[in-house]
Amino acid sequence: MTEHVEGIGGKIVYESRKAVVAYKNRILLLKLDLDNLTLGHDALDGDWDLPGGRINEGESAEDALKREVREEVGIEVSVVSDLNDFEFYPSSGVVVRGKNLFCMASSDCVVLDKTRSKQHSSYIWASTEDAASYSMPTWMKKGIKLSERYMQR
C-alpha cells in the first residue's frame, strides 16, 4: 500500500524520491514509454525521466529510492546527498512532493525489466551538460545541475 496523507483542501499528497544516478561522470536518464504511463508521469512535462517513485507505507525514503531504482533499472545505488525539492500535480486532487537525491551506481549495467516497471522504454548515460538538452521537467534538470558538485573529477 502506498503512503499518502490528506493535504490542504482535501488533496491527496504522495511523498516521492527521484535519483540522479551517477556512474563514471555520467547521469542515467530514462526514456518514458508514452503507452504505459502511470499516475504522475502524464504531468512530468517531457519525454525523459529519472529513476524513482513513491514511498510505500512503513518504508524509509532512502529504502524506497533504492527499491525503485533496483526495480526500474536493476542497479544498486548508494545515496550521497539531497539535491532539491519538487512538487507536481498529476491529476485533480493529487499532489506529488519529493526530493531529488544524488546517488552513486554500483555499475552501468541497466536492465529495463518490463515485468516490474513498464514506464520506461530505453535509457542513456549522459554528461550533466548533455542532460540539460533532454526534454524533462525543470525540477529534474535542477537536480542534475546540482549533482555536478558530487561528480567524480
Number of domains in the chain: 1
Whole-angstrom distance, CA of residue 120 vs CA of residue 29: 10
Q: Provide the grid cell at 124.
A: 542513456
The parent domain of residue 13 ranges over 4-150
Strands 26-32 and 12-23, bridge-based pairing? antiparallel
User: Which CATH number belongs to the domain containing residue 38 in this structure?
Assistant: 3.90.79.10
Asked whether residue 2 carries a pLDDT value surpassing 60, the answer given is no
Q: Can you give the pLDDT at residue 11? A: 82
What pLDDT was estimated at residue 33? Answer: 78
pLDDT of 58-90, one tens digit each?
999 999 999 999 999 999 999 999 999 999 887
Q: What is the DSSP letter of 128?
A: H
Confidence of residue 121 (pLDDT cuts 50, 70, 90): confident
Rounded CA-CA distance 35/110 in Å is 21
Which pLDDT score is estimated for 92?
77
